[in-house]
């Protein structure tokens, strides 16, 4: 009997082959079979979870870089509106910065929403 929540389809897809391999060397049911099967299940689940976590981290990195790019682009537009051609420095207040952040976030949310629709 499994002591955790069974039925994770991502893991179960691999376990029939594991079960068949264990049965070649150990009787089923037996303590040996159960112990090897359970440790294998945990290892497969850990590997899948590690892969999912890595993908999540890569997704987060992508969106952070995209946010940075959009914020820099919005700030550049702001700077061009406020500065003369020969001037590089502009003053910015909290309200202006909030507008730049909001504009960037809106673009990102739209892009994320479009990507989610494509992934579905």
Q: What pLDDT is recorded for position 17?
A: 86
Q: Which residues contact 27 (CB under 8 A, 6 or more apart)?
A: 33
pTM: 0.49
Max CA separation in the chain (angstroms): 83
Which residue stretches of the chain have pLDDT < 70? 1-6, 115-120
Q: What pLDDT is recorded for position 55?
A: 80
Q: What pLDDT is recorded for position 5?
A: 53
Q: What pLDDT is recorded for position 2?
A: 44
Tell me the per-residue pLDDT of 36-56, one tens digit each, with 9 for 90 and over.
Answer: 888 888 888 888 887 877 788
Q: What pLDDT is recorded for position 1?
A: 40
């Amino acid at each position: 009997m499994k002591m955790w929540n069974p039925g994770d389809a991502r893991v179960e897809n691999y376990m029939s082959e594991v079960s068949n391999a264990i049965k070649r060397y150990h009787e089923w049911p037996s303590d040996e079979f159960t112990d090897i099967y359970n440790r294998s299940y945990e290892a497969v689940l850990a590997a899948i979870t590690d892969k999912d976590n890595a993908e999540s981290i890569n997704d987060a990195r992508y969106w952070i870089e995209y946010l940075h790019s959009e914020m820099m682009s919005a700030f550049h537009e702001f700077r061009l509106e406020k500065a003369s051609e020969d001037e590089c420095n502009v003053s910015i207040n909290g309200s202006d910065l909030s507008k730049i952040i909001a504009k960037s976030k809106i673009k990102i949310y739209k892009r994320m929403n479009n990507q989610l629709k494509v992934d579905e």
